[in-house]
């Protein structure tokens, strides 16, 4: 339901951290790695640059040259002992850290190909610590490769309804698989005609250029006008959401022109989230968009930036406010602004949340961040539930047990139904014991997107 997540940002960071070059292929080329110490800035020539603070969150791990892997090395994902261009070298991890040298003598060492790590959806580096490796290995162990039939298939098709999963090296061998090497996405042969998000963006460039002709170079008078402005633009903190490379560049260039700041990741001081919209005017439901709704910040189309450039000055944001997201929820951005401007109670004030079940750690962290921002109270453990003695509250719906209704790729329809029924039963059993109400995790997302409490689901 939510692009929290931020799988693409996480995968890009994995690519940076791994220090491995992209391989060359004959075939076609719902929730986030948060880095508050990193932001995009623009120099006087409007060149993109990443400014990292003295203690960055992202640290590149050690490079490993693995020409002669220790005897007995087998990838924990694809179960292959071979190394080649399409697998990359072997990497070894112990207690979440990469280890080098004589790894045979170490206990509990996990051996994996670098490409298998790079393309496994939820694995990423946080500093020098690898995240979610154990959970992704456990998930992959249940999934059979649609090519070779062996388990350990961690890479799924980009089409969420597709149940095909592959070992990364097996997928590389399939000529009809399609690849988005920048965002670490793959389409199986059956869905090879589906467009990746960046391709959809490119297909609309011609239309956008016709509607918004390329702006002329800024004159000295124009630059001086923005420089004379004592407030407004200089106080803006802009944050892009799901923007194309072209739009990201334009946003940074605009900020450089008017003296505003551009942040790559969500921060509390963001004033405007500028988002890509589809032909219906709907934006992608991202962490940035949901946080902006809860914070009462502007959520605008790129047309606002273009209008400001054309007018050589600030333009009324209301004319360019997004009202719809890609799941059909409308009115949230405006309702969020009005709620914040009137100091109304927060959306989840008085609500208590206990998340139960098999959430991915990064996804769960983002959900909890949203709940806290919305004013909800988080209960961390069952022991805490017992201590707080909720029996006195009876059947108050403001006390909620939240279970995960998202399923991993590769499940059959029968497996999906069984898993969901089991999760619901476990959540309802716990909820009855502590007099809570049971809801799916999507209720949180839907309520925030609409900026109102929707019926329980």
Q: For the segment 239-296, what is each residue's pLDDT rounded down to a tens digit?
A: 999 888 889 899 999 988 888 999 988 999 999 999 999 988 999 999 999 999 999 9
Q: Write the CB contacts of 201 (distance below 8 Å, at least 6 apart in sequence).
A: 244, 246, 276
Task: Please tell me the predicted confidence (pLDDT) of residue 281.
Answer: 92
The 8-class DSSP code of residue 452 comes to S
Alpha carbon 104 to chain centroid, angstroms: 36
pLDDT tens sequence across 64-93: 334 466 777 889 999 998 888 888 888 888
Number of compact structural domains in the chain: 1
Segment of 11-20, 191-200, 201-210, 354-363 carrying the highest mean pLDDT: 354-363
More confident residue, 196 or 227: 196
Segment of 22-26, 334-338, 387-391, 417-421 carrying the highest mean pLDDT: 334-338
CA distances from 333 to 289, 339, 444, 452 (A): 8, 10, 16, 11
Q: Is residue 446 part of a domain?
A: yes
pLDDT tens sequence across 139-177: 999 999 999 999 999 999 988 778 889 999 999 999 889
Is residue 275 within 8 A of residue 284, CB to CB? The reply is yes
Backbone angles phi, psi at 180, to 5 degrees: -110, 95
- How do the residues of the chain divide into helix, strand and coil, expressed in percent and rounded to 5? 35, 15, 45
Could you tell me how many helices (H) and strands (E) the chain has, helices first? 15, 21
CATH of the domain at 376: 3.40.50
Task: Please tell me the predicted confidence (pLDDT) of residue 102.
Answer: 62
Q: Is residue 399 part of a domain?
A: yes
Q: What distance in Å separates the CA atoms of residue 221 and residue 204, rounded to the nearest whole number?
A: 33
Q: In degrees to the nearest 10, what's the CA dihedral of 420, 425, 426, 428? A: 120
Percent pLDDT > 90 in the chain is 34
| Confidence bin at 95 (pLDDT 50/70/90) | confident
Q: Is residue 75 part of a domain?
A: no
CA distances from 431 to 276, 365, 405, 436 (A): 40, 22, 16, 5
Q: Which one, of 245, 252, 158, lies nearest residue 205 by Cα?
A: 245
Q: What distance in Å separates the CA atoms of residue 83 and residue 64, rounded to the nearest whole number?
A: 13
Q: How many residues does the chain have?
A: 457
Is residue 223 within 8 A of residue 194, CB to CB? The reply is no
Task: Please tell me the predicted confidence (pLDDT) of residue 411.
Answer: 61
Instruction: State the DSSP H helix or E strand holding residue 445, giving kind and residue range, or none if neither.
Output: helix 442-450
For 177-180, the CB contacts below 8 A with 24+ separation are 177/27, 178/27, 178/28, 179/25, 179/27, 179/28, 179/29, 180/29
Q: What distance in Å separates the CA atoms of residue 117 and residue 140, rounded to the nearest whole number?
A: 12
| Confidence bin at 305 (pLDDT 50/70/90) | very high
Determine the average pLDDT of the residues in 305-330.
92
- Please give the mean pLDDT across all residues of the chain: 76
Q: What distance in Å separates the CA atoms of residue 148 and residue 324, rounded to the nearest whole number?
A: 43
Q: Is residue 379 part of a domain?
A: yes
| Confidence bin at 202 (pLDDT 50/70/90) | low
pTM score: 0.55
Segment of 38-47, 122-131, 303-312 carrying the highest mean pLDDT: 303-312
Task: Please tell me the predicted confidence (pLDDT) of residue 360.
Answer: 81
More confident residue, 9 or 177: 177
Q: Which one, of 220, 206, 210, 214, lies nearest residue 310 by Cα?
A: 214
Q: Residue 218 pLDDT more than 60?
A: no
Beta strands in 43-191 (DSSP E): 48-52, 90-94, 97-99, 110-113, 124-126, 129-131, 155-156, 165-166, 178-180, 185-187
User: Which residue range forms the structural domain that includes residue 413?
Assistant: 352-450
Q: Write the CB contacts of 306 (distance below 8 Å, at least 6 apart in sequence).
A: 212, 215, 250
| Confidence bin at 183 (pLDDT 50/70/90) | confident
Least confident of 75-89, 120-134, 345-359: 120-134
Q: What distance in Å separates the CA atoms of residue 387 and residue 395, rounded to the nearest whole number?
A: 18
| Confidence bin at 228 (pLDDT 50/70/90) | low
Least confident of 103-112, 203-212, 220-229: 203-212
CA distances from 430 to 106, 355, 401, 402 (A): 41, 11, 8, 11
Q: What distance in Å separates the CA atoms of residue 268 and residue 256, rounded to the nearest whole number?
A: 21
Q: What distance in Å separates the CA atoms of residue 378 and residue 368, rounded to the nearest whole number?
A: 7
pLDDT tens sequence across 370-385: 999 999 999 887 777 6
Determine the average pLDDT of the residues in 106-125.
84
Q: In degrees to the nearest 10, what's the CA dihedral of 217, 220, 224, 227? A: 50
Task: Please tell me the predicted confidence (pLDDT) of residue 291.
Answer: 96
């Amino acid at each position: 339901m939510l692009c929290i997540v931020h799988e693409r940002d996480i995968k890009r960071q994995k690519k940076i951290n791994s220090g491995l070059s992209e391989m060359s292929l004959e075939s076609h080329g719902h929730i986030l790695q948060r880095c508050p110490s990193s932001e995009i800035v623009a120099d006087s020539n409007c060149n993109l640059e990443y400014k990292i603070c003295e203690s960055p969150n992202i640290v590149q791990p050690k490079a490993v040259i693995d020409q002669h892997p220790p005897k007995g090395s087998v990838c924990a994902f694809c179960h292959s002992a071979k190394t080649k261009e399409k697998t990359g070298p072997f990497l070894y991890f112990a207690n979440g850290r990469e280890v080098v040298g004589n790894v045979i003598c170490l206990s509990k060492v996990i051996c994996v190909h670098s490409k298998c790590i790079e393309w496994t959806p939820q694995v990423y580096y946080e500093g020098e610590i690898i995240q979610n490796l154990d959970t992704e290995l456990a998930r992959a162990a249940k999934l059979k490769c649609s090519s070779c039939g062996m388990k350990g298939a961690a890479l799924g098709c980009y089409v969420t309804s597709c149940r095909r999963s592959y070992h990364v090296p097996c997928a590389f061998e399939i000529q009809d698989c399609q690849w988005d090497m920048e965002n670490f996405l793959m389409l199986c042969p059956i869905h090879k005609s589906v467009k990746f998000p960046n391709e959809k963006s490119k297909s609309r460039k011609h239309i956008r250029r016709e509607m918004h002709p390329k702006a002329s170079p800024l004159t000295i008078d124009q630059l001086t006008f923005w420089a004379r402005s004592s407030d407004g633009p200089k106080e803006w903190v802009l944050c892009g959401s799901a923007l194309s490379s072209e739009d990201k560049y334009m946003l940074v260039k605009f900020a450089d022109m008017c003296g505003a700041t551009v942040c790559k990741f969500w921060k509390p001081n963001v004033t405007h989230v500028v988002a890509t919209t589809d032909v219906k005017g709907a934006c992608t439901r991202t962490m940035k968009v949901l946080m902006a709704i809860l914070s009462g910040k502007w959520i605008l189309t790129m047309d606002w930036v273009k209008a400001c450039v054309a007018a050589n000055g600030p333009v009324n944001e209301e004319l360019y406010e997004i009202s719809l997201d890609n799941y059909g929820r409308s009115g949230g951005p405006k309702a969020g602004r009005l709620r914040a401007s009137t100091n109304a109670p927060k959306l989840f004030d008085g609500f208590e949340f206990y998340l139960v079940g098999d959430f991915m750690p990064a996804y769960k962290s983002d959900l909890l961040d949203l709940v806290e921002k919305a004013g909800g109270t988080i209960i961390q453990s069952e022991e805490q539930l017992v201590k707080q003695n909720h029996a006195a509250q009876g059947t108050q719906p403001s006390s909620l047990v939240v279970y995960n209704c998202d399923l991993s790729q590769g499940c059959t329809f029968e497996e999906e139904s069984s898993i969901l029924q089991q999760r619901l039963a476990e959540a309802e059993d716990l909820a009855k014991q502590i007099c809570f109400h049971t809801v799916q995790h999507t209720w949180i997302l839907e309520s925030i997107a609409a900026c109102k409490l929707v019926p329980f689901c």
